[in-house]
C-alpha cells in the first residue's frame, strides 16, 4: 500500500501556485471595495447641495402657481376695468357725435371693442378679448295729443304719431369681471347696464318745456377685438322746434326702453312739467309713457340719426305754406308763394317733388315753379320751393281764385297738399295791393257797412266828408266805415280822420301840412287796410287804432315830419310785407298788440327815434328789417306772454337793442347788431321761461351782448361778438 507523503499534500507545481495567487488578488480587491464603500457612507456634503436646489425649485414652482391662480386673475380684472372706463369715454364721445348729427353734422365715432391683456413673464394670460356692437330690432315711439301752432297744425292736429327707433348696444366679452356690463344708447337716454342695475344714466327726453326725441337707425351686429370706427350721420336733422300744446287732454310721449322704471322716475322727478309716469313691462322692450302737464306750450324737436349707414332721404310727410296765402293780385301782376316740405320729424326734406295745380276759375292765372318755369320742381336744401302765380291781364270785377301745391313721395304718390287763396281785382298793374281779401262793394262813395258783409246793400248808407276847411273827416259812427277805391287818394294839407265801429280802407292818404295828422280809429272793431299808403309829408302824428284786429299787410306808413307813428290793436296785428318809416329826428315808431300776436314777416321798420314792436301773445319778425339811426334811442321787441320769431331778421341800430320774451326766442340766420359804442348801445336778448335758439346767427355790439334764457341757449355755427366777451346766461349753453 502506498502512504501519502508530504509531497503529496504540498504540491509546488507552477499551475498550483498560479491559482493561489489569483485567489489572493481577488481577496484584496474585495477588501479595497469594502473600504471604499465605508468611505462613501461617512461623507454627506454633496447630498445637501442637491437637496437644497430641489427644494428651491419646488418653492419657485409653488409661488408661480399661486400667483397664476390668485394674482393674475386680479391683475386681468383690473385690466378689464380700465378697458371699461376707456370704453365709457368712447361711448360719451359717441353721444357727442349723435348730438352733432342732430345739428346736421356728420361725424365718425370709435369704440375699442376688445380688451388686450398684457404679456407677463412666467405667467399665462388669455388671448385678447372681443366685444359685440349691435343695433337692436326696431321698436315704436309715440306722441299723442300734440297740436302745433302755425302751418304745422294741419299735420300735428292732436292725432297719434308713431316712429320706429332702435338702440345701440356694446357688450364686451370679459373673463374676469364678475358682472359683464352693457353700454346702451337709446336716443333719449344712455347708461351702463349690469345684471339688475344701471349706472351713469342721463336723459334728454324732457327738459323744462323742451321735448327732444332722437330716433336711432342702423344695421350693425359685429364682434371684434380691435377698435371699431363707424359713421354717425344725420338722416333728419332737428335744428328747429315746433311749438305744440294740448286740446284739454294731456300730451303723452311713449318710448321703448330697457332702462329700469326706478331710474327713469329718479331722472324725471325734478321735471315740473311731467304730470305722471307709466311703465309697462314687455318681452323685448319695456315702455315708458310720460304725461305732460296740460295747458302749457312745449317746444318739440324730433331727429333721426343713422349709425354706420348712409341712410336714405326721409320721405315727405306734409307740406306747409311759408309765404303767399290770402293775397290780392292786380290784373297781369305776379305773386310769389313759397312752400316747405317736411318729414315725419318736422324737418325739411330736400329734393322732394312738388307740383302746382291750375286755378279753379275760368279767369285763373298761370302757376309755375320759379326755377323750372313748369308746374313741377324739387325742393332745395332747406326743403323749400317757390312758385309764381301770374294773374290774367283782364278781370271782370273781383275774382276769388285758388290753387294747390302738391308734394309726392319717391313712388310718385300724393302725400299732402297746401291751398293758396288769391283775389284778382281790377286796377293797374302798378297799383298797390289794397282792400279786403273778400270782395268789397264800390258804389262810388264812402259808406257805412251796417251788416258788415262787404257789400253796399240793405241798410247801408253813404258817409260824407264832414271836415271843415282843409280837414277830411269820414265818420260812420256806430257802423263800419268803408272807403272804396272809387273815392281815390285822399290828399290834403289838413288833418284826415277816418273812424267808425270798424274801418275798411282801400285808398291812399297823403297829408302835406306842417301840423296835419292822420287818424284811423276803428273803435272796438277791426281795421282792414291791405296795401294802402299813409303818408305825412311834414306833419304830425300818424295813428291807427282798433279794439279788435288790424290788417296792414303790404301797407306803407311814412312820417316825414315832426310826429310819431303809432299802430295799436287789442288783438292780432298783421304787418306782413309792410313798410313803416320815420324820417325826422327823435320821432318814434310804436307797433303794439295788447292782447294778440304781431305778424310782421318781411316787413321794414326804419326809425330816427325809438322803434318798438310789442306783441303780448307773440311777435313774428321773420325776414324783416328793423333799423334805428339815433345812438341815444333804441330798438325794443317785446312779448310779455309768449315768444318771438326773429328767423332771418336784420336788426341794425346805432343805439341799443332789447329783445324780451316770456317764452322762446328764435334767431335762425338772424343779424342783430348795435354799431355804436354809446352808453345805451348794448344788445340784450332775454327769454324768461324758454330758450334762445338758432343756427348761423350773427349778434354783435360795440359795447355788451347779454343773452339770458331760463332753459337753454343754443346757437350753433353762430357769431357773437362785443367789446370783450359776450355774457351768456342759461343752464345749458351751446354756442
Q: At which residue does the C-alpha cell 428651491 appear?
A: 56
Q: In angstroms, rounded to a whole number, what is the distance separating the alpha carbons of residues 233 and 246? A: 33
Q: How confident is the model at residue 121 (pLDDT cuts 50, 70, 90)?
A: low
310, burial (CB in 10 Å: exposed 0-12, middle 13-18, buried 19+): exposed
User: What is the model's pLDDT at position 59?
Assistant: 67
Please report which helix (H) or strand (E) contains residue 322, including its range.
strand 318-323
Q: In angstroms, rounded to a whole number, what is the distance separating the alpha carbons of residues 653 and 608? A: 10
What are the beta bridge partners of residue 413?
A: none
Instruction: Tell me how crowded residue 536 is: count the other CB atoms within 10 A of its CB.
Output: 28
Summarize pLDDT for 266-290 with one digit per residue, the tens: 999 999 999 999 999 999 999 999 9
User: What is the model's pLDDT at position 328?
Assistant: 74
Rounded to the nearest integer, the mean pLDDT of the chain is 84
In this model, does residue 42 exceed pLDDT 80? no
First to last CA, the chain: 150
Please report which helix (H) or strand (E) contains residue 134, including its range.
strand 131-135
Q: How confident is the model at residue 3 (pLDDT cuts 50, 70, 90)?
A: very low
- Residue 165 and residue 215 in contact, taking contact as beta carbons nearer than 8 Å: yes
C-alpha cell at 685: 336778448
Q: In angstroms, rounded to a whole number, what is the distance separating the alpha carbons of residues 406 and 357? A: 8
Mean pLDDT computed over 176-190: 88
What are the beta bridge partners of residue 274?
A: 292
User: What is the model's pLDDT at position 643?
Assistant: 93
Q: In angstroms, rounded to a whole number, what is the distance separating the alpha carbons of residues 108 and 98? A: 10
Name the least confident of 108-112, 117-121, 531-535.
117-121
Tell me the three state secondary structure of residue 478: coil
Percent of the chain at pLDDT exceeding 90? 54
User: What is the model's pLDDT at position 677?
Assistant: 57
In this model, does residue 377 exceed pLDDT 60? yes
- Residue 338 and residue 323 in contact, taking contact as beta carbons nearer than 8 Å: yes
Mean pLDDT computed over 516-536: 93
Mean pLDDT computed over 248-255: 95
Instruction: Tell me how crowded residue 458 is: count the other CB atoms within 10 A of its CB.
Output: 10
Domain ranges of the chain: 77-114+129-307, 318-425, 491-734
Mean pLDDT computed over 81-97: 89
What are the beta bridge partners of residue 279?
A: 288
Beta strands in 671-735 (DSSP E): 671-674, 683-687, 691-693, 698-701, 705-709, 712-714, 719-721, 727-729, 732-734
Mean pLDDT computed over 374-392: 90
Q: Give 625 or 630, the one with higher predicted confidence.
A: 625
Q: Which residue from 670, 664, 643 is spatially nearest to 709, judged by alpha carbons?
A: 664
User: What is the model's pLDDT at position 531?
Assistant: 86
Summarize pLDDT for 144-159 with one digit per residue, the tens: 999 998 788 889 999 9
Q: In angstroms, rounded to a whole number, what is the distance separating the alpha carbons of residues 502 and 476? A: 9
Q: In angstroms, rounded to a whole number, what is the distance separating the alpha carbons of residues 550 and 592? A: 10
- Residue 472 and residue 490 in contact, taking contact as beta carbons nearer than 8 Å: yes
In this model, does residue 544 exceed pLDDT 90? yes
User: What is the model's pLDDT at position 667?
Assistant: 92
Backbone angles phi, psi at 276, to 5 degrees: -155, 160
Q: In angstroms, rounded to a whole number, what is the distance separating the alpha carbons of residues 350 and 154? A: 20
Tell me the three state secondary structure of residue 520: strand
Q: In angstroms, rounded to a whole number, what is the distance separating the alpha carbons of residues 312 and 301? A: 20
Name the least confident of 176-180, 214-218, 470-474.
176-180
Q: How confident is the model at residue 646 (pLDDT cuts 50, 70, 90)?
A: very high
CA 455 to the chain's CA centroid = 48
Q: How confident is the model at residue 365 (pLDDT cuts 50, 70, 90)?
A: confident
Summarize pLDDT for 224-247 with one digit per residue, the tens: 888 899 999 999 987 678 899 998
Q: Give 338 or 43, the one with higher predicted confidence.
A: 338
User: What is the model's pLDDT at position 34?
Assistant: 41
Summarize pLDDT for 294-314 with one digit per residue, the tens: 989 999 999 999 999 876 778
Q: Which residue from 243, 211, 246, 300 is spatially nearest to 639, judged by alpha carbons?
A: 243
Q: In angstroms, rounded to a whole number, what is the distance separating the alpha carbons of residues 27 and 279? A: 107
Mean pLDDT computed over 253-263: 96
396, burial (CB in 10 Å: exposed 0-12, middle 13-18, buried 19+): exposed
User: What per-residue string of b and e applies to 659-670 under the rule 16 or more CB within 10 Å gives b?
Assistant: bbbbbbbbbbbb
User: What is the model's pLDDT at position 193?
Assistant: 92
Mean pLDDT computed over 625-632: 78
Mean pLDDT computed over 3-18: 38
User: What is the model's pLDDT at position 359?
Assistant: 60
C-alpha cell at 699: 349778434
Q: Give 607 or 523, the one with higher predicted confidence.
A: 523
Summarize pLDDT for 418-469 with one digit per residue, the tens: 998 887 765 433 333 333 333 467 888 999 999 988 888 889 999 999 999 9
Q: How confident is the model at residue 78 (pLDDT cuts 50, 70, 90)?
A: confident
Percent of the chain at pLDDT exceeding 70? 83
Mean pLDDT computed over 565-570: 96
- Residue 671 and residue 692 in contact, taking contact as beta carbons nearer than 8 Å: no
Q: How confident is the model at residue 41 (pLDDT cuts 50, 70, 90)?
A: very low
Q: In angstroms, rounded to a whole number, what is the distance separating the alpha carbons of residues 354 and 140? A: 30
Mean pLDDT computed over 65-79: 66
Strand 139-144 to strand 252-257: parallel, antiparallel, or no bridges (unpaired)?
A: antiparallel
The alpha carbon dihedral of 735, 634, 521, 432 has a sign of negative
C-alpha cell at 14: 507552477
In this model, does residue 5 exceed pLDDT 60? no
| Length of the chain as a residue count | 735
Instruction: Tell me how crowded residue 151 is: count the other CB atoms within 10 A of its CB.
Output: 18
Please report which helix (H) or strand (E) contains residue 475, including its range.
strand 472-475
Q: How confident is the model at residue 389 (pLDDT cuts 50, 70, 90)?
A: confident
Instruction: Tell me how crowded residue 519 is: count the other CB atoms within 10 A of its CB.
Output: 17
Q: Give 36 or 309, the one with higher predicted confidence.
A: 309
Strand 189-194 to strand 182-185: parallel, antiparallel, or no bridges (unpaired)?
A: antiparallel
Sheet holding 727-729, edge to edge: 472-475, 496-499, 518-521, 542-546, 565-569, 589-593, 611-615, 635-639, 657-661, 683-687, 705-709, 727-729
The answer to whether domain 318-425 has CATH 2.60.40.10 is yes
Q: Give 76 or 218, the one with higher predicted confidence.
A: 218
Mean pLDDT computed over 174-193: 88
Q: Give 225 or 209, the one with higher predicted confidence.
A: 209
- Residue 141 and residue 254 in contact, taking contact as beta carbons nearer than 8 Å: yes
C-alpha cell at 511: 297829408
Mean pLDDT computed over 54-80: 66
User: What is the model's pLDDT at position 66?
Assistant: 65
Amino acid at each position: 500500500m502506498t502512504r501519502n507523503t508530504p509531497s503529496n499534500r504540498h504540491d509546488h507545481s507552477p499551475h498550483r501556485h498560479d491559482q493561489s495567487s489569483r485567489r489572493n488578488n481577488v481577496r484584496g480587491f474585495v477588501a479595497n471595495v469594502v473600504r471604499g464603500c465605508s468611505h462613501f457612507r461617512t461623507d454627506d456634503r454633496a447630498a445637501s447641495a442637491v437637496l437644497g436646489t430641489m427644494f428651491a425649485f419646488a418653492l419657485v414652482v409653488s409661488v408661480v402657481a399661486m400667483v397664476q391662480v390668485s394674482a393674475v386673475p386680479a391683475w386681468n380684472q383690473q385690466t378689464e376695468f380700465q378697458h371699461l372706463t376707456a370704453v365709457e369715454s368712447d361711448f360719451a364721445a359717441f353721444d357727442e357725435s349723435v348730438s352733432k348729427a342732430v345739428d346736421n353734422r356728420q361725424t365718425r365715432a370709435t369704440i375699442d371693442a376688445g380688451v388686450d391683456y398684457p404679456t407677463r413673464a412666467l405667467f399665462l394670460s388669455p388671448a385678447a378679448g372681443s366685444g359685440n356692437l349691435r343695433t337692436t330690432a326696431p321698436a315704436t315711439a309715440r306722441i299723442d295729443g300734440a297740436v302745433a301752432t302755425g302751418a304745422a297744425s294741419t299735420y300735428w292736429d292732436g292725432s297719434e304719431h308713431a316712429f320706429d327707433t332702435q338702440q345701440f348696444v356694446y357688450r364686451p366679452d370679459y373673463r374676469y369681471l364678475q358682472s359683464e356690463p352693457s353700454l346702451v344708447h337709446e336716443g333719449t337716454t344712455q347708461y351702463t347696464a349690469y345684471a339688475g342695475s344701471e349706472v351713469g344714466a342721463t336723459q334728454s327726453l324732457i327738459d323744462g318745456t323742451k321735448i327732444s326725441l332722437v330716433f336711432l337707425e342702423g344695421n350693425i351686429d359685429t364682434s371684434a377685438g380691435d377698435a371699431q370706427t363707424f359713421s354717425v350721420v344725420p338722416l333728419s336733422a332737428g335744428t328747429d322746434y315746433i311749438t305744440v300744446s294740448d286740446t284739454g287732454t294731456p300730451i303723452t310721449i311713449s318710448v321703448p326702453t330697457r332702462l329700469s322704471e326706478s331710474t327713469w322716475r329718479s331722472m324725471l322727478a325734478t321735471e315740473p312739467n311731467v304730470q305722471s309716469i307709466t311703465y309697462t313691462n314687455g318681452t323685448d322692450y319695456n315702455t315708458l309713457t310720460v304725461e305732460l302737464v296740460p295747458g302749457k306750450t312745449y317746444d318739440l324737436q324730433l331727429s333721426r340719426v343713422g349709425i354706420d349707414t348712409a341712410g336714405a332721404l326721409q320721405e315727405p310727410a306734409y307740406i306747409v305754406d311759408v309765404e303767399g296765402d290770402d293775397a290780392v293780385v292786380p290784373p297781369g301782376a305776379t305773386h310769389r308763394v313759397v312752400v316747405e316740405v317736411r318729414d315725419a320729424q318736422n324737418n325739411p326734406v330736400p329734393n322732394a317733388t312738388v307740383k302746382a295745380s291750375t286755378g279753379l276759375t275760368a279767369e285763373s292765372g298761370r302757376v309755375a315753379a320759379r326755377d323750372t318755369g313748369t308746374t313741377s320742381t324739387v325742393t332745395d336744401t332747406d326743403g323749400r320751393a317757390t312758385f309764381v302765380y301770374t294773374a290774367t291781364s283782364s278781370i271782370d270785377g273781383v275774382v276769388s281764385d285758388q290753387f294747390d301745391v302738391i308734394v309726392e313721395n319717391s313712388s310718385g304718390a300724393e302725400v299732402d297738399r297746401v291751398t293758396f287763396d288769391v283775389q284778382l281785382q281790377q286796377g293797374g298793374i302798378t297799383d298797390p295791393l289794397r282792400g279786403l281779401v273778400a270782395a268789397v262793394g264800390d258804389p262810388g262813395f264812402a259808406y257805412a257797412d251796417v251788416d258788415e258783409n262787404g257789400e253796399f246793400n240793405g241798410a247801408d248808407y253813404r258817409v260824407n266828408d264832414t271836415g271843415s276847411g282843409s280837414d277830411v273827416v269820414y265818420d260812420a259812427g256806430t257802423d263800419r266805415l268803408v272807403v272804396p277805391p272809387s273815392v281815390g287818394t285822399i290828399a290834403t294839407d289838413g288833418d284826415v280822420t277816418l273812424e267808425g265801429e270798424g274801418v275798411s280802407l282801400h285808398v291812399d292818404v297823403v297829408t302835406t301840412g306842417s301840423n296835419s295828422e292822420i287818424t284811423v280809429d276803428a273803435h272796438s272793431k277791426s281795421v282792414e287796410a291791405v296795401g294802402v299808403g299813409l303818408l305825412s309829408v311834414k306833419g304830425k302824428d300818424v295813428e291807427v287804432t282798433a279794439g279788435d284786429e288790424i290788417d296792414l299787410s303790404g301797407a306803407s306808413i311814412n312820417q316825414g315830419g315832426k310826429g310819431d307813428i303809432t299802430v295799436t290793436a287789442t288783438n292780432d296785428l298783421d304787418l306782413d310785407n309792410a313798410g313803416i318809416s320815420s324820417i325826422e329826428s327823435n320821432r318814434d315808431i310804436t307797433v303794439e298788440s295788447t292782447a294778440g300776436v304781431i305778424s310782421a314777416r318781411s316787413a321794414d321798420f326804419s326809425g330816427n327815434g325809438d322803434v318798438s314792436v310789442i306783441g303780448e301773445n307773440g311777435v313774428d319778425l321773420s325776414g324783416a328789417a328793423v333799423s334805428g339811426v339815433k345812438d341815444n334811442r333804441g330798438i325794443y321787441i317785446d312779448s310779455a306772454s309768449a315768444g318771438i320769431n326773429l328767423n332771418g331778421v336784420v336788426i341794425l341800430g346805432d343805439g341799443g337793442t332789447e329783445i324780451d320774451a316770456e317764452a322762446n326766442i328764435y334767431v335762425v340766420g338772424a343779424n342783430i347788431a348795435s354799431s355804436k359804442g354809446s352808453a345805451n348801445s348794448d344788445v340784450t336778448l332775454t327769454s324768461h321761461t324758454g330758450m334762445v335758439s338758432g343756427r348761423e346767427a350773427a349778434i354783435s355790439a360795440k359795447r355788451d351782448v347779454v343773452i339770458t334764457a331760463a332753459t337753454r341757449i343754443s346757437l350753433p355755427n353762430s357769431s357773437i361778438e362785443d367789446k370783450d366777451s359776450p355774457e351768456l346766461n342759461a343752464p345749458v349753453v351751446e354756442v
